[in-house]
Amino acid sequence: MEKENEKNIKAPLGMKDIFPEERQLWGEMEKAAREEFELSGYYEIRTPVFEDTRLFVRSIGETTDIVEKEMYTFGDTAESTITLRPENTAPVMRAYLEYELYKTKKFQKFYYIGPMFRKERPQAGRLRQFHQIGIEAIGSYDPLLDVETIKIATRVYDRLELSGYEVKINSIGCEKCRPGFRKVLKEELSKYKDDLCELCKIRLDRNVFRVLDCKQKKCKEICKNVSSIEEHICNDCSGHFKTVKNTLKDIELEFKIDPHLVRGLDYYTKTVYEITHPSMGARDTICAGGRYDNLISDIGGPPTGAVGFAAGMEASMIAILNTRKKEREKDTSQLAPDAYIVSIGNETRNYCFKLLNTLRQSGISVDMDYECRSTKAQMRTANKLNSRFTIVIGPDELEKGVIKLKDMQTGDEKLAEDANEIVQVVKRNK
């Protein structure tokens, strides 16, 4: 027991610290996403990380794994519990409903960025606290919006120089035609029941559609003999799907129809899509989305069409790093200060500190030594920080009232009259 207590405290399982070097890529992703989203009229909404547990139970589906065993749920009041959001579509819909946005402006576009939580075993690109970037277009059934969201996702990835990703789409029907297809599928698959894997035998009753994306060879073979969703969806869904496909072609967006693409969350209807990347491990989806025309009515609102996607930031990042050149990873130029002040002798330190603040005031990023180290050590630090300039202040400079400026690229040194002159030179070289 005592030994347990002596152990160093670590970050909780499946939760990661992000340090400055790698955070740069996070910033890049966020910037690319925000700019693309806003270019298309999507604006940021921030919802709480906690929600009433019932929101997720109703929207995601009571029998899904997420709700059954992966949610972080805590007691709130005596009667209610709150849950750390496992995804953000339901919270955004909740906000839309709660503020009755549909009354004043039915059609709205939002985007969000932030942490999500699912209590599962961590794996490559899959953590307990992970981050998603997503968009939601609420208040329309227009298939053009399905295409718009897909296009936006690809534009963000293009901007981040991710190559080789694949867009897969499918239609899973609506509440009218899905039950019929579910029944047919179950009947057809039951004929092969003995050959299905153990898991699929269970899925047969629990969630037939999941059999379609089983990875077992035998199950895959069997699925080839089964009729596809496309043959069974209603005219409305079929027409919608056709428009989506044709529009994607019109705007020359490459995609593949994947009849086995099934989503795990209950609220999806009609169009579902996924963006995958081959460089990943077994889990290759970096972005997934689709239409969810029943979600708002499921949680108590008026019938409202909606479509959107969520991209996993950690997963996307792995894909991006896999395709980028290695030099870019090491690029620390963003973290380098414009100048580093080397102070020689203790009596110069106060003067240096004043200069430091003057320069910062003028927009120059600058730092100095706080460990009273030798001149050589301070120079080494300036070099390691990749600082463009070094400012050297010793007793000589102090006495003459000048500032020595060294260009670390050329090695040239010169004397400046005052801080303002330093600012000019440094800014010229930015």
Partner RNA sequence: GUGGGCGUAGCUCAGUUGGUUAGAGCAUCAGACUGUGGCUCUGAGGGUCGGGGGUUCGAAUCCCCUCGCUCACCCCA
- Contact set with RNA (CB under 7 A): 3, 10, 13-14, 64-66, 70, 87, 118, 120-127, 130, 132, 199, 203, 207, 210, 214-215, 263-265, 274, 281-283, 285-288, 310-312, 314-315, 344, 373-377, 379-384, 390, 392, 394-397, 404, 406, 408-409, 411, 413
SS3 state of residue 393: strand
231-268 as b/e: b if 16+ CB within 10 A: ebbeeebbebbebbbebbeeeeeebeebbbbbbebbbb
Q: How far is the CB of 53 from RNA (least distance, A)?
A: 17
The least CB distance from residue 245 to RNA, in Å, is 21
**Beta-bridge mates of residue 52:** 82
CB of 124 to RNA, least distance (A): 3
The distance of closest approach from Cβ of residue 421 to RNA in the complex, given in angstroms and rounded to an integer, is 17
Contacts of 133 (CB under 8 A, 6+ apart): 29, 30, 33, 111, 112, 113, 156, 310, 311, 313
Cβ at position 354, least distance to RNA in Å = 17
Return the number of the residue (23 or 249) whose C-beta is nearest RNA: 23
- Shortest approach of RNA to residue 91 CB, angstroms? 14
CB of 7 to RNA, least distance (A): 7
Contact 186, 211 (CB under 8 A): no
Q: Which is nearer to RNA, 220 or 245 (CB)?
A: 220
Q: How far is the CB of 12 from RNA (least distance, A)?
A: 8
Range 91-104 burial, b when 16+ CB lie within 10 A, else e: bbbbbbbeeebbee
CA gap 406, 391 in Å, rounded: 6
Closest CB to RNA among residues 139, 290: 290
Q: How many residues does the chain have?
A: 430
Nearer to RNA, 108 or 276 (CB): 276
Contacts of 166 (CB under 8 A, 6+ apart): 256, 275, 276, 277, 278
Taking the least distance from each CB to RNA, the nearer of 300 and 345 is 345
Q: Measure the CA–CA gap between 339 and 369, rounded to whole angstroms.
A: 12
Whole-angstrom distance, CA of residue 81 vs CA of residue 344: 61
Of residues 15 and 234, the one with the C-beta less far from RNA? 15
Closest CB 16 distance from RNA, rounded Å? 8
| CA distance to 74, 113, 121, 165, 293, per residue, from 117 (Å) | 13, 13, 12, 26, 25
CB of 260 to RNA, least distance (A): 12
Residue with Cβ nearer RNA (223 or 382)? 382
Q: Which is nearer to RNA, 184 or 199 (CB)?
A: 199
HSE of 279 in the Cβ direction (CA atoms, 13 Å)? Answer: 14
User: Closest CB to RNA among 127 and 320?
Assistant: 127
The pair phi, psi for residue 13, each rounded to 5°, is -50, 130
Instruction: Provide the token pair at 360.
Output: 């910062």
**Interacting residues of 337 by C-beta distance below 8 A, sequence separation 6+:** 365, 366, 367, 385, 387
Pair 390, 342: CB distance under 8 Å = yes
How many CB atoms are closer than 10 A to CB 298?
Answer: 16
Calpha distance 392→368 (Å, rounded) = 10
Judged by beta carbon, residue 196 or residue 265, the one nearer RNA is 265
